[in-house]
Amino acid sequence: MTASGPAENDVRLRRLLPGELKTPRWPHGLAMRTFEAADAPALHALLGLVFDDGMDGPFEQWWPRISGDAEFDPDLCFLVFDGGDRLAGAALCWTSAFLKDLAVHPDFRGQGIAEALLWHVFATFAARGASHVDLKTNLIGNAGAVRLYRRLDMVEVDWAG
């Protein structure tokens, strides 16, 4: 979103909670855990690989901005690793029940990691008493993800929430 508002084709999607919540199904050989400070460089590298817009900047600028944000909670950053400690996917959420970043490494796509992460995010915020989870995406540039979001009952809402 730009300072003047959302970019062309950007939308805010919402999943009402609790709704039907499925148990995440992690692909064979992959495991999810929450963020630890030592994971920051790998998370930054994954986000830089997946989101090629360069908005996050170099690690030295990104990490203080993320870790210092009032909405950052390491318990709301979910990371999926393969057996060799390679970061396969991540969901970085803000405490306001907003999914800031959802990323799956290109080598691990098509295995259901994003869907499993979404189910985990929904269950986490439902357990915290949130009424919904929101995210921002682009209908054109992220069409594949939009199909997944809609399949998981996410609907477009007004930017103001």
Per-residue pLDDT of 95-105, as tens digits, reads 999 999 999 99
CATH of domain 29-153: 3.40.630.30
Per-residue pLDDT of 22-65, as tens digits, reads 999 999 999 999 999 999 999 999 999 998 765 578 999 999 99
pLDDT band with cut points at 50, 70 and 90 for residue 159: confident
CA distances from 111 to 26, 43, 160 (A): 9, 19, 34
Domain extent listing, the chain: 29-153
At residue 105, the pLDDT reads 97
Give me the half-sphere count of Cα atoms (radius 13 Å) on the Cβ side of residue 134.
Answer: 14
